């Protein structure tokens, strides 16, 4: 899963080939310019690409696709499905390589806040304002699996790809008779279960580019409530509060307040104004002072 598609140059082609869902907050260029690189990478992939976003995301994806000529791709398997939140409705449109990415609209359905519902996790979205509609997202795990490293060493079990397969089998409710090959030996799932610690699932929330309005703040606090990690923009410092209101962005202090009132365990600051390149520590300090303030 990819949250926003701005500068994705740090991701390798292998990373991008793993992306099956993209959750776009809004389509300002710094949050959507990477779509073209992602598209080029997955163009021959059989696994569909799903894109979620606010009002107008379907038109924006269509505009991107129309910017290129697609006369040689009708035998390519890629299918792009786009889902657009428009108030109480969720619209959907398909763009398939076999049709030269011509748009096919699906039926609207009621939007209940849930975008993806999987046995392992749920992804929810809420519509906010940045003068335009923007989306915030939250990923909630059904449960979390931790491996007891000390017990792993005690039993002489090496770290390796088998652990990913083991955790996947747990998440999918695999039978205890499932067999895993570890360092040349075979173990049943039942024999390995003592190294796994099943705990409460994590909640990770992602909020960026929202106006510092009371309505936005109230909605975000409720939406991000109980987050283990809250990724939140801190675009301006409080001394530039007037500019924050003018540009429809949060200040670092407001980011800290939102995280505190939401009861987040950890605040991860993102998306600073370039004007603070020389004083990034001040952005962190302002946000964390508000986040850790006694109430």
pLDDT, block means (10 residues), the chain with 295 residues: 95 96 98 97 97 98 97 96 96 97 96 92 96 97 88 89 88 82 89 88 96 97 97 97 96 97 97 94 96 82
The bridge status of strand 79-86 relative to strand 89-96 is antiparallel
Left, alpha or beta for 56 (phi > 0: left; psi -120 to 50: alpha)?
Answer: left
Helix axes of 252-262 and 280-291: crossing angle, nearest 10 degrees? 30
pLDDT confidence of residue 295: 62
Residue-range domains of the chain with CATH:
2-141+202-291 (3.60.15.10), 143-200 (no CATH)
pLDDT at 202: 93
Q: What is the pTM of this model?
A: 0.86
Quick one: residue 226, left, alpha or beta (phi over 0 = left, psi -120 to 50 = alpha)? Answer: left
Contact 23, 5 (CB under 8 A): no
Q: What is the pLDDT of residues 4-59, one digit of tens each?
A: 999 999 999 999 999 999 999 999 999 999 999 999 999 999 999 999 999 999 99
Which of 251, 244, 262, 240 is CA-nearest to residue 284? 251
The pLDDT, as a whole number, for residue 119 is 79
């Amino acid at each position: 899963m990819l949250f926003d598609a701005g500068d994705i140059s740090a991701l390798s082609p292998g990373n991008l080939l793993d992306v099956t869902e993209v959750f776009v907050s809004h389509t300002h260029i710094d949050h959507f310019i990477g779509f073209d690189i992602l598209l080029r990478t997955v163009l021959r992939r059989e696994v569909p690409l799903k894109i979620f976003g606010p009002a107008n995301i379907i038109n924006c994806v269509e505009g991107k696709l129309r910017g290129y000529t697609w006369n040689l791709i009708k035998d390519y398997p890629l299918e792009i499905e786009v889902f657009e939140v428009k108030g109480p409705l969720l619209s959907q449109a398909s763009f398939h390589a076999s049709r030269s990415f011509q748009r096919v609209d699906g039926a609207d359905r009621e939007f209940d806040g849930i975008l993806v519902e999987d046995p392992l996790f749920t992804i929810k979205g809420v519509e906010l304002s940045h003068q335009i509609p923007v989306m915030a997202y939250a990923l909630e795990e059904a449960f979390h699996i931790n491996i007891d490293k000390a017990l792993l060493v005690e039993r002489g079990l090496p770290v390796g790809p088998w652990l990913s397969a083991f955790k996947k089998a747990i998440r999918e409710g695999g039978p205890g008779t499932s067999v895993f090959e570890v360092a040349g030996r075979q173990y049943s799932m039942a024999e390995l279960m003592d190294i796994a610690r099943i705990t409460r699932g994590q909640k990770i929330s992602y909020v960026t580019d929202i106006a510092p309005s009371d309505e936005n703040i109230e909605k975000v606090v409720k939406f991000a409530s109980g987050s283990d990690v809250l990724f939140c923009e801190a675009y301006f410092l409080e001394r530039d509060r007037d500019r924050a209101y003018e540009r429809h962005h949060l200040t670092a202090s407001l980011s800290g307040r939102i995280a505190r009132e939401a009861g987040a365990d950890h605040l991860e600051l993102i998306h600073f104004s370039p004007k603070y390149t020389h004083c990034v520590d001040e952005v962190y300090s302002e946000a964390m002072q508000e986040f850790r303030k006694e109430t």
